Amino acid sequence: MELNRILTTILLIAVIIISCSCNSVKKISTKYYDENKIALDSIEHNFKILYQQKPFSIEFTDKSFNYVSIEIITDTLKYIYEFGINETRLIDTLTKYHFNEKAIVDLFSQMRSIHCTWINYLDYYVDEKKEALIFISMRPVGLSKPFTNKKYYIITYFSQPQYFDNEGKLLVKRKRQRIRKINGEIFWRINDKVCYSISGRFR
Amino acid sequence: MILSKIYVRVFFLISICFSVLNVSVASSEICTDSDTSITSSKWQAIAFIKTIDTLPSSIYWPNVKPKLFLENLRSNIYSPLKIYEGISTNFCGYAALSYLLLHDDPVGYAKFMIQLFQQGEATMGKVLFHPSTAINQTAGALKFKGVLDIRPADQMWFLSLADHFKGYLNVFDHRYDAGDEDKLWASVNYAKFNRMVRELLHYKVDAKGSDMIHPGTSNTYEYIKSKMKSGVMVLYVNNTFLYKKKHTALKLGFPTHYIILQDINKTGETITITYWDYGGRSLRQMTPAFLRRITFGISHCTKKLNGVE
């Protein structure tokens, strides 16, 4: 009897943990965007301005967001550096490549505040024409499903309104009901220009 | 599920056997044959491609638009560094091979591609390519792969290579189905990569390393540095370390990516490498330990003798 009670308790706890972590993907992601809309839109806006001055991407390489990798893109070479967030080498490098250091450091802080792991421009093609979107990955805090890898929230910002099917899946074109994949993932509508996905990898 | 688990176990057993085999094979295979083929220059290739204004559609490649095909060839000849394997594909081995080809024999490449487009089959080196119907239908229709979307010649080339050359990683996925460009069907194990270079190009390959065990060099940096002076270096590396995509503590300890090493230098305990991959050149710094951790294969490619080297 005693053993039965213990087993029942363990089973109940397990069911609660699993059900807590099995919220609908859609609910989590739209909620996440709504809760962090101001910060996300600001990161996107600042990145867009800074990228126009000098192309780059930012990646936080560790779980505690203490190390940052910056890819500096030139016509001939992509320089990939990794620094501790408080290292003086970081500022020295930004200065060397003529970045607006304060604006970049502010962007790091904004990204850290919402656990944003990566931001970059990504090319895609429509009718053989090159388009670009801003790709932002977040590492969610809190519980995830037991025995599974943590997933990342991905938010994409398009420069033009996109087409979606009845379920909200991103389409290639309105007339052709073909689903567009970005980085191998299906994306869902948040608004006309912003989509989300959940992915096992952040880039 | 049970079936897939069995597949995985069988796959790992086979891969361990082949890996051990590859260590001995790869490090002992030093091709000493000479070749009388003439290697061409970029300017010869430009002169050749300028003679072709237009091409009629090909009955063999229904989804390849001739205009885009020619633009793609021109782009590869003028800017060989820009050849790109596409987002999420397993074409990096074929892209690294293309780097070698486009730098060594761009005329041979251009003629081969034109023949493949017009006749549905063509020969390069000792190999006759006769792509399957699935490949004919797919080339030009791959989507969501970045700039590869608008490069049908590269799609033809990568798919034809994957269709023709098979290694032990391709055993369970031998025939092309839609989406296989991202899967094991397209993957390139180390021995397969070296075999492709030997059979297709005017290079001999001195390979050290394997799919699972690091090369047996006492000092990876010194070995690479010493070899760089006399040939092109291709490194077979662990991409989960080089380009982190997850924050998991547990990472697969296998190589999955090929890069062309262009320069390597050491200052103190910092190694700076310049390499080509993903359609461009990158520069990054690392420790000697990190270099050793990511490096599984070192292929030293030198020109075959033409009488006069």
Instruction: State the ipTM, two decimals.
Output: 0.84
Cβ pair A81:B246 closer than 8 A: no
Q: Could you tell me if B188 and B207 lie in one domain? A: no
Q: Could you tell me if B161 and B89 lie in one domain? A: yes
Per-residue pLDDT at A25: 54
Q: Convert the pLDDT of each residue in B170-206 to its tens digit.
A: 999 999 999 999 999 999 999 999 999 999 999 999 9
> Measuring CA to CA, which residue among A95, A116, A115, A114 is closest to residue A104?
A95
- Is B164 a member of any domain? yes
Q: Helix B92-104 crosses helix B106-119 at what angle (to 10 degrees)?
A: 120
Cβ pair B283:A123 closer than 8 A: no
- Paired with B124 in beta bridges are B127
Describe chain A by its helix, strand, coil percentages, rounded to 5.
35, 30, 35
- Is B6 a member of any domain? no
Q: Could you tell me if B212 and B187 lie in one domain? A: no
Mean pLDDT, chain A, rounded, equals: 87
Structure-token pair, residue B83: 């050849």
- Is B10 a member of any domain? no
Q: Could you tell me if B181 and B85 lie in one domain? A: yes
Instruction: Determine the length of chain B.
Output: 309
Secondary structure (3-state) at B245: coil
Q: Could you tell me if B76 and B213 lie in one domain? A: no
Q: Could you tell me if B165 and B207 lie in one domain? A: no
Q: Is A202 on the interface with B (CB under 8 A)?
A: yes
List the single residue in B88, B248, B274 with the smallest CB-CB distance to A184: B88
Per-residue pLDDT at B44: 97
Q: Is A26 on the interface with B (CB under 8 A)?
A: no
Structure-token match 């080297």, residue found = B309
- Is B150 a member of any domain? yes
Work out how many domains chain B is built from and give that number: 2
> Measuring CA to CA, which residue among A160, A162, A167 is closest to residue A180?
A162
Q: Is B267 on the interface with A (CB under 8 A)?
A: no
- Residue B175 — φ and ψ, nearest 5°? -110, 145
- Is B9 a member of any domain? no
Cβ pair B247:A117 closer than 8 A: yes
Q: A182: part of which helix (H) or strand (E)?
A: strand A181-182
List the single residue in A150, A180, A184 with the smallest CB-CB distance to B182: A184
| Angstrom distance (rounded) from CA B16 to CA B12 | 6
Q: Could you tell me if B113 and B255 lie in one domain? A: no
Per-residue pLDDT at A31: 82
Q: Is B149 on the interface with A (CB under 8 A)?
A: yes
Please report, for the domain that includes residue B232, its CATH number: 3.90.70.10
Q: Could you tell me if B309 and B176 lie in one domain? A: no
Cβ pair A149:B248 closer than 8 A: yes
Per-residue pLDDT at B17: 47
Contact status, residue B247 vs residue A62, Cβ threshold 8 Å: yes
Q: Is B182 on the interface with A (CB under 8 A)?
A: yes
Q: Could you tell me if B158 and B213 lie in one domain? A: no
Q: A109: part of which helix (H) or strand (E)?
A: helix A101-113
Per-residue pLDDT at B291: 96
- Of B138, B167, B192, the domain-final residue: B192
- Is B115 a member of any domain? yes
Q: Which residues of chain B have pLDDT under 70?
A: 1-38, 249-251, 306-309
Q: What is the pLDDT along chain A (203 residues), one digit of tens a residue?
A: 666 777 777 776 665 555 544 455 555 667 888 889 999 999 999 999 999 999 999 999 998 999 999 999 999 999 999 999 999 999 999 999 999 999 999 999 999 999 999 999 999 999 899 999 999 999 877 655 555 556 899 999 999 999 999 999 999 987 767 899 998 899 999 999 999 999 988 88
Q: Could you tell me if B56 and B178 lie in one domain? A: yes
Q: How far is B153 from chain A (nearest CA, A)?
A: 14
Range of the domain at B256: 203-309
- Is B33 a member of any domain? no
CA distances from B222 to B27, B125, B216, B218 (A): 17, 33, 13, 9
